[in-house]
Structure 1
Amino acid sequence: MSECRVPVINIQSDWNEALRKIMGECWVSCKFRDQPGVHGKIKNEGVLKGEPYYVPASNSFAVGSSSSFTITIIHTPSNHKCVFVAPCKAFTGLHRKAVVSVDVAAGGLGISVCAENKLIVWDTRMGLTRRLLSAHVGDVYKCRFFPSGVVVLSGGADMQLKIWSAETGQCPVTLVGHTAAIMDVCVVERGRNIVSVSKDGTARLWDCGQSACLATLVRRNVAVNCCTLMAVGERLDEGEPQEPPSEREVGTKGKVLILGYEDGTVEGIAVRSRRSVFRSALSSAVNCVAVLSDDNFVVGCQNGQVLLFGVQNTLTPTKTWFESNSPVLSLLTLYEGFLVGRADGLCTFHSLPSAGADSFRIALTGSDCDPIYDMACDGSHIFTACRDSVIRKYDVQNIKASLRDERNGPS
């Protein structure tokens, strides 16, 4: 296992607005974990050869390439650099309280919920509310689209799962069975079955068509914080089920449910056989998990660690990133890497070990130290759910261009 020692380079959250004016300036900083930080400033001193001329006010920093929505900051003593990407839109009118969950569909619809239990369907182009989904009697912690993009799944403190029509706002299905708050959900293939996990220590498999629980996949004495499904095919021996599965169970063969627990355990459950196929103990509560490929998944922890695991060796992480002590609250798979959303508002792209140098990062800006609770991508844009009540929208092309420039050589 290798551990990455990369500094966190940060910039003023509204840097693109601050540097838009001649002589405008913004702050930058660089900090290795558990060490004092270094601070500096960047100033816009006009135009040189048709491009903005940014001057660093500290010898510790240099400015690389820049555009309307991106700027590259280099920490010269360590030669580490970060490309900062500003949002192309910020939707401020959808919610008034912290946005705790968000998802988007390719058809142009978004679903989100905030701390005042306002669950809404909205238009991802203009940020206009389309439907208010009102039936939960407690806080909603998670909302997700089915693959169709017109059906929504939600769950939360009232221990209920609800399935909604995004087009009409009606809720034809309510699933009941958990005895504590539902923390996370995932959809099996096209959505005839779904999985939910709860503070009651269980993961349950549901049949949406008959509004029934097909199985309790796991029962532990500790809260389950998060889950995701991974297709492993025949690479893991999941064994045979003790009892024949219901004919209502569809698409579970070759699927492993990855669970993250409050006590720091990561566990994989073969859904079809209900057997535990791996279990690893980490040093901190697991807040989020995400599948990166057919071979890898990533785990985000309360102590700030991010760990990469290979499906063929789940006892020891392939790689560990421990750049910050700020809790990891959300993860999003993106191309040859993943985004990490943290409690201090940082949202950083990490490349897989085979895809890029550790000295390079991409960070989404806009959150002024407010936690990033959730993230979603519709293929062309990334959306973040933040404590400041704003849903920010970022153009994926800015990230792809930064990755391409990094591969082609230094800025």
Structure 2
Amino acid sequence: MPGENPTQITAPVISIQSDWDDVIRRPNTEVWVACKFRGQPSSQGKIYSQGLSSEGIPRVTTTDGFSVHGISRNTIQVNHESGNICIFVAPFSTFTGIHSKSVKSLDATSGDLCVSVCTENKLQIWDTRQGLLRRTLEGHLGDVYKCRFFPSGLVVLSGSADMQLKIWSAETGQCPVTLRGHTAAVTDMCIVDKGRNIISVSKDGTAKLWSCGEASCLATLVELGTTINSCCLGVANNKMQLAAPEENPSEHEVGTENKILLLGCEDGTVHCLAVRGRQNLFSKSHSSAVNCVTILSVDNFVIGCQDGQILLYDFEKPTEPVYCWYESNSAALCLLPFKEAGFFIGKADGSCVYHQLPARNSHERCHNVRVQLTGPDCDPVYDISFDGTYVYTSCRDAAVRKYDMLKTVSSLGSVD
């Protein structure tokens, strides 16, 4: 990125065998581990299992500069002599009976429900406690790219290659509202506040604001000459100069006064819009397609790129990234802000990593500590969701995985 000099975090990455949690509980077995810098050969090692202790914890030995400093049923902390540390978290549950093809999108609620969709175009609502299918939502004429719950947890929004958005009752499976107006596939969407309005983006290069109650398009917020891959809605900070709208908004436009919309595009651009004023606050170009964007706070946002770069920006100075995580060339596919202290990034190589945000103007020790969700064996992770207790991922191998993350993330400050 010519002209940009972000602090680039290029520490070596520790990897582990995808089914380590199962293998390591059996005596006289081995699990491979590796450590590598991007673009360089990896150093290999082994974790040898000697069976379970009387407390049911695996007893292990290691080789080639690796060491294990903590292990439980679902987590293992692996240290490398380079000084780097990775905490690997295995799934709490793995759901393989919901879909039989790649799971492209999902969203989970605190009410123990999940909506997910696969490449067979099966849009399913199911129970996250036992993995029981509740109902199938049928009606889209093309592949569904994205599905989300409204804040109530009782209504589902979906966007499809058929250029339509549909609003469904999670309780009955009925679809009372279909929104039409895009001229190409709908790629992503945001729900404004409680859901009287929604925003969608499309391969047609537009972002549209909709009234759910009126089933109508209130405005086209922007028209770009490129596919919009991702969008995220946030609240403007008090340093942003938001212009008043040129025309009085419709009475059906609710809750957009202080909202900003972040867009990630196929041509490598990122755009930030003031929703109510239809104002372009800034645009930024990158050398690779921007596949995913998320707003972390009123101060920061993160983007994930096709070339593998993950860039942290400050809204106060969006011309240059603050940090760049560039661990591999594998495409970044999805982002999830988590507990105001960091974010998850899912990538095409099957990795799903939690990055803790560094403090402003400092290099914290946590830069060398990664938390990685395990399970996929090099299959892309397409989407991530958090229900307030568990993190869920959707993957090309047709599985949805459920992880218990709260204790792991909260303990990062004490990692040795």
TM more than 0.5 = yes
**Which of the numbers 297, 310, 317 marks the counterpart of 1:293?**
297
2:95 maps to amino acid: F
- Give 4+ residue runs of structure 1 displaced > 6 Å after superposition: none
Cα distance in 1 between the residues matched to 2:61 and 2:407: 23
Supply the distance in 1 between the matched residues of 2:121 and 2:414 (Cα, whole angstroms). Answer: 46
Equivalent in 187, 190, 214 of residue 183 of structure 1:
187
Counterpart in the other structure of 1:119: 123
* Unmatched segments (≥5 aa) in structure 1: none
* Alignment of 1:319 onto 2:328: no
Aligned residues: 405
Distance in 1 of aligned mates of 2:65 and 2:308: 26
Contact 1:267 1:276 in 2 (8 A): yes
Residue pairs, 1:249-288, within 5 angstroms = 249-288=253-292
Q: CA deviation at 1:54?
A: 1.0
1:390 aligns with 2:396: no
Q: What's the counterpart of residue 13 of structure 1?
A: 18
Is the CA contact (8 Å cut-off) linking 2:366 and 2:413 kept in structure 1? no
Using the TM superposition, give the Cα deviation of residue 409 of structure 1 relative to its aligned residue in structure 2, in angstroms.
4.7
TM-score (norm 1): 0.96
Give matches, 1:192-211, under 5 Å: 192-211=196-215
Q: How far apart in 2 are the matches of 1:183 and 1:5?
A: 31
Instruction: Find 2:249's aligned residue among 245, 260, 268.
Output: 245
Name which of 54, 70, 79 aligns with 1:74.
79
How far apart, in 2, do the equivalents of 1:226 and 1:175 lie?
A: 19
Give the match for residue 222 of structure 1.
Answer: 226
Which residue of 1 is the match for residue 236 of structure 2? 232
1:376 aligns with 2:382: no
- The one of 23, 26, 35 aligned to 2:40: 35
The SS at the match of 1:175 is strand
- CA distance in structure 2 between the aligned counterparts of 1:339 and 1:32, rounded to whole angstroms: 20
For the Cα contact (< 8 Å) 1:119–1:132, is it kept in 2? yes
SS in 1 for 2:366: coil
Q: 1:53 aligns with which of 50, 59, 62?
A: 59
For 1:63-212, list aligned pairs within 5 A.
Answer: 63-76=68-81, 78-212=82-216
Shift of 1:49: 8.3
Q: Distance in 2 between matches of 1:45 and 1:82?
A: 22
Structure 1 window deviating more from structure 2 (37-46 vs 327-336): it is 37-46
Matches of 2:349 and 2:191, distance apart in 1: 30
Which of 378, 386, 408 does residue 414 from structure 2 map onto? 408
Tell me if structure 1 keeps the 8 A contact 2:300–2:314: yes
Aligned counterparts, 1:301-340, within 5 A: 301-335=305-339, 336-340=341-345
Against the structure 1 CA distance between its residues 213 and 63, is the aligned structure 2 distance closer, same or farther, given a 3 Å change threshold? same
1:204 is paired with a residue whose SS is: strand
Equivalence map 1:347-366=2 (5 Å): 347-354=352-359, 357-366=366-375
Let me know the Cα RMSD of the aligned residues: 1.3
Contact in 2 for aligned 1:234/1:254 (Cα 8 Å) = no
Distance of 1:32 and 1:300 partners within structure 2: 19
Q: Letter of the aligned partner of 2:215 in structure 1?
A: S
Structure 1 Cα separation of the partners of residues 336 and 140 of structure 2: 27
**In structure 2, what is the Cα distance between the partners aligned to 1:194 and 1:397?**
30
One-letter code aligned to 2:300 = N
CA change 1:92–1:49 in 2 (3 A) is closer
Please report how far the alpha carbon of residue 195 of structure 1 lies from its aligned counterpart in structure 2 after TM superposition: 0.3
Shift of 1:53: 2.2
Q: Distance in 2 between matches of 1:47 and 1:118?
A: 41
Overall identity of the aligned pairs, in %: 53
Inter-partner Cα distance in structure 1 for 2:159 and 2:406: 33
Partner AA of 1:66 in structure 2: I
Query: Structure 2: which 5+ residue stretches go unaligned?
Result: 1-5
